[in-house]
Chain A
Amino acid sequence: MIALLIRDLKQATRAGGGFGLGLAFFLIVTILVPFGVGPESATLALIAPGVLWVGALLSCLLSLDRVFALDFEDGSLDLLATAPIPLEAVVGLKALAHWLVTGVPLTLIAPMLGVLLNLPSGGYIWLLASLGLGTPALSMIGAFGAALTVGLKRGGLLLSLLVLPLYVPTLIFGAEALRRGTAGLENTTPLLMLAGITAASVALLPFAAAAAIRVNLR
């Protein structure tokens, strides 16, 4: 099963794999926001948590349609469905691979972009913590959306419409945990809620996504 993860990581990092796509988008969003908002550092510090989280969420969304669509187009999804690994594990590994090439780099680069947005110095540890806890949920929910739309030609629009409402709780608790942490307030509750969303989606969504793929392959 680890072979599937290695294959996906290899593909993502080779030419045309889309490894840098989400990262570049995140970079562009956070660089452009200070230009749009203007040079008031107090305003920037105020909106920094929300902008960083929205940027991370949209960059995650950008590469989602590749999760299953590529395998569907070249026929390997059919072959994986008949292979001796459960489809639930395939979904889980695909989501893990998506997280490793999108969520982890986003989390690691976020503190550097926080500087551009004048994030107060107490916020960096919470930025890493909230993105580290929340991005696995973004990848898993996204993989579920990708599984629902796998048979559709140009399913990207439908995928975004399906996935965005499901992303809202993650965004609310993630940004809230970061905002409270930055302001020096107690933020255990939103962090726990964020961890709960991640745990629940990792536990439940592989089954839902595998069922959706089975229906779509018929």
Chain B
Amino acid sequence: MDFTVENLSCARGGVPVLEGVSFKLRAGGVLLLRGPNGIGKTTLLRTLAGLQPRLAGAASAGAESIAYAAHADGLKATLSVAENLNFWASVYGTCDIGPALRAFNLEELAPRQAQNLSAGQKRRLGLARLPVTGRPIWALDEPTVSLDRDSVALFASAVAQHCAAGGSALIATHIDLGLDADTLDLTPYRAQAYAVPGFDEAFL
């Protein structure tokens, strides 16, 4: 499924950060979002995932076909790796977590509590949620933070596998993943500073 975004504007904290963002993500493709800190990569991904309203523009697929992965992994410390993943599997109505555990090399850690994992292992568990969702478009916000070299390769092959199956991925990242991917630099879309009408009302 192709994913087109046209003329999208989004705001963070009432201040527009991006204007007129347009791109096309074809089925099986990967698009890397680049740009300096604060340019609005996270805001763009949250807007596409439906967590924030867009100021203007249109996207060809709704939030229901996007699997969003944020900076935080959303893990429950007192639940085991398998319990954490099984929870998301039943929320999304898929049942088998085996392939996801294998893809991120988590099989040996399955019975361990999430609070006893290292930062990189937690990240891998957070990313293992993505194949479990069964959604076609992955929107990932700096997925490789705290991953070691081998785990980055593991992640890249998981993305490649997802794309080979007809899915696509939108990844905000600063590093080279070694994937065959298009790049979108967000710097030219920086919004001109102006106040969004109505935001002040919250303070009056």
Q: Which A residues lie at the B interface, using CB under 8 A?
A: 1-4, 7, 10-11, 14-17, 71, 73-76, 78-85, 217-218
Q: Which residue of B lies closest to A77 (CB)?
A: B74
Given contacts A79-B68, A81-B51, A218-B52, whether A74 and B75 have CB atoms under 8 Å apart is: yes
CB < 8 Å neighbour of A82 from B51, B83, B90: B51
Asked whether B91 is an interface residue with its Cβ less than 8 Å from the other chain, the reply is yes
Asked whether B71 is an interface residue with its Cβ less than 8 Å from the other chain, the reply is yes
Residues of A within 8 A of B51 (CB): 78, 81-82, 217-218
12 A-B interface contacts by CB (under 8 A): A1-B91, A4-B91, A10-B78, A76-B75, A78-B68, A78-B72, A79-B70, A81-B50, A81-B51, A82-B66, A83-B91, A218-B51
Contact A78 B70 (CB under 8 A): yes
Contact B76 A74 (CB under 8 A): yes
Residues of A contacting B: mostly: helix
Closest 4 CB pairs of A and B: A75-B72, A76-B74, A3-B90, A14-B78
CB < 8 Å neighbour of B78 from A2, A17, A85: A17
Query: In angstroms, how far is the closest chain A Cβ from the Cβ of B136?
Result: 13
Residues of B within 8 A of A81 (CB): 50-51
Residues of B within 8 A of A80 (CB): 91
For the complex, what is the distance from the CA of A74 to the CA of B74, rounded to whole Å?
A: 5
Given contacts A75-B70, A76-B74, A79-B68, whether A11 and B50 have CB atoms under 8 Å apart is: no
Residues of A within 8 A of B87 (CB): 3-4, 7
Asked whether B180 is an interface residue with its Cβ less than 8 Å from the other chain, the reply is no
Contact B76 A76 (CB under 8 A): yes
For the complex, what is the distance from the CA of A83 to the CA of B63, rounded to whole Å?
A: 9
Q: Which of A2, A71, A84 has the most CB of B within 10 A?
A: A84
Residues of A within 8 A of B91 (CB): 1, 3-4, 80, 83-85
Q: A7-B79, A83-B92 are in contact. List 14 more A-B contacts (CB 8 A).
A: A3-B86, A7-B83, A11-B79, A16-B78, A74-B73, A74-B77, A75-B70, A75-B74, A76-B74, A78-B51, A79-B68, A81-B51, A84-B93, A218-B52
Contact B50 A82 (CB under 8 A): yes
CB < 8 Å neighbour of B72 from A17, A74, A84, A85: A74
